[in-house]
Amino acid sequence: MRSTQVTVTDAVTLLVDKDNINRTIYINVVGNKKIALGSSTVTFATGLQIEKHSAPQNFFVPLNERIYAICNTGETDDVRVLLPDAD
């Protein structure tokens, strides 16, 4: 496994890049803001929202799929991602 930290802003931010394998990943919000997850067209209003103080969320990411994140307008937060290190 390998971990990364990504700063998410109110602009769509790539959180998990595509890979040539199916993966289970874990996402944990470090700061006190909510983030919203989705595709490259995610908005804070339409994305799957997660926040700090919840257990790290696990997600299945299919082959060649990406996950993007966004914060609400004017907000920024740090997110940690734990990914398999298959390479």
Q: Report the C-alpha gap between 75 and 1 in whole angstroms.
A: 29
Report the C-alpha gap between 42 and 83 in whole angstroms: 21
Locate the DSSP E strands across 1-87: 2-8, 13-16, 23-29, 35-38, 48-50, 57-61, 67-71, 77-83
User: What DSSP character marks residue 56?
Assistant: P
pLDDT of residue 31: 87
pLDDT of residue 22: 95
For residue 87, what pLDDT band results from cuts at 50, 70 and 90? low
pTM of the model: 0.92
Q: How confident is the model at residue 52 (pLDDT cuts 50, 70, 90)?
A: confident
